[in-house]
Amino acid sequence: MRVALFVTCLADLMKPGVAFAAIRLLEHGGCTVEVPRTQTCCGQPAYNSGDRATAIALAKKALAEFEGFDYVVAPSGSCGGMVRAHYPELFRDDPATLKRIEGLASRTYELTDFLVNVLKLDSVPGDFKGTVTYHDSCSGLRELNVKAQPRALLAKLPGVTLTEMNEAETCCGFGGTFSLKFGEVSTQLADNKCGNACATGADAIVGGDLGCLLNIEGRLRRRGDLKTRVLHIAEVLAGRSE
């Protein structure tokens, strides 16, 4: 099975370890993983900012890069959701491209969703030990129905205890450029999230989207908490968490 990794712009720039962890997990599941070299960004920042033309251009670029694979997997519900839930809408007036885009969308998965529902992994290579609490990212949860998948995978790690936080499904306040435009409100929502997460006493806050994780970690550190770890689910599952 030839699987293309959609690295995501945030993993590329901020946390390469997440993309390496994703590769490790996919290979563990028997996939041949390829990383198209010219990929950059799915276009969601443009799409959510009202710049439809750039979003369309980047969607076409992604289509050319990823169309030839059996599956496309992203370690992000946000980018995965962009492709699956929003790309088709961008081409509603372009039937020829729409058909191809719909094909791409149907073969594109968020990482944990792919590991559970396509690869049906029965083990994961990680060896994390400790209690974790899981933050459900909005796009993964509400666009791709990612909820049980990461928890099912965490349950395969004998050293991991999952303690659910209150309001796990509530937005952390990131929202892409929202976090810059409405910094105070965004910070408040991140603070609420940190409060709920820390109340569990977990060693690590785990999630599936780097945007949320940077936001949560950023607020956590500013609150003075240098101890609680903030990890991407791929890092935990692959055993690459530094």
Q: Is 47 in the site for another protein (CB under 8 A)?
A: yes
Q: Is 187 in the site for another protein (CB under 8 A)?
A: yes
In the list 11, 79, 132, 202, the residue contacting another protein (rule: CB under 8 A) is 11
In the list 112, 196, 215, 228, the residue contacting another protein (rule: CB under 8 A) is 215
User: Residue 99 or residue 222: which is nearer to another protein going by CB?
Assistant: 222
For tokens 């990383």, name the residue: 35
Task: Give the count of beta carbons closer than 10 Å to the beta carbon of residue 100.
Answer: 15
Q: CA-to-CA distance for 108 and 6, rounded, in angstroms?
A: 9
User: Which residues are CB-contacts of 75 (< 8 A; sequence separation ≥ 6)?
Assistant: 8, 11, 18, 19, 21, 22, 110, 111, 208, 210, 232, 233, 234
Q: Is 101 in the site for another protein (CB under 8 A)?
A: no
User: Residue 161 or residue 170: which is nearer to another protein going by CB?
Assistant: 170
Q: Is 97 in the site for another protein (CB under 8 A)?
A: no
Q: Is 4 in the site for another protein (CB under 8 A)?
A: no
In the list 1, 64, 185, 199, the residue contacting another protein (rule: CB under 8 A) is 185
Q: CA-to-CA distance for 17 and 226, rounded, in angstroms?
A: 20
Q: Which residues bind another protein (CB under 8 A)?
A: 7, 9, 11-16, 19-20, 35, 37-41, 43, 45-52, 54, 57-58, 61, 89, 138, 142-143, 169-171, 173-192, 214-215, 217-219, 221-222, 230
